[in-house]
Amino acid sequence: MEATNNGSERKLRPCVIQRKVTNGYRAMWAAKAEADVRTTIDTARLKGANPFGVIVATLA
């Protein structure tokens, strides 16, 4: 186990960059949708699944 939270910080970095580039979200639903999609993609990658396939299966 690492003594720091560097792993968590690195996983959050794409979300922070997205927020910075777009100047944030004007609607809460958009921020929640981004978080939901990002969580689905990251979880699929951790489990070794195809993120696109997981999203398609979820929406089907």
Give the range of the structural domain holding residue 42, as residue numbers without chain letter: 27-60
Asked if residue 58 is part of any domain, the answer here is: yes
Amino acid at 59: L
- In degrees, rounded to 5, the angle at the alpha carbon of residue 11 between the alpha carbons of residues 13 and 45 is 130
For 13-46, write each residue's pLDDT tens digit.
Answer: 888 888 889 888 888 998 898 889 889 998 999 9
Asked if residue 11 is part of any domain, the answer here is: no
Per-residue DSSP letters for 19-54? HHHHT--SSHHHHHHHHHHHHHHHHHHHHT--HHHH
Asked if residue 54 is part of any domain, the answer here is: yes
Asked if residue 4 is part of any domain, the answer here is: no
Token pair of 15 as six digits: 């979300």
pLDDT at position 60, please?
Answer: 86
The pTM score is 0.70
Domain count, the chain: 1
Asked if residue 57 is part of any domain, the answer here is: yes
pLDDT at position 31, please?
Answer: 87
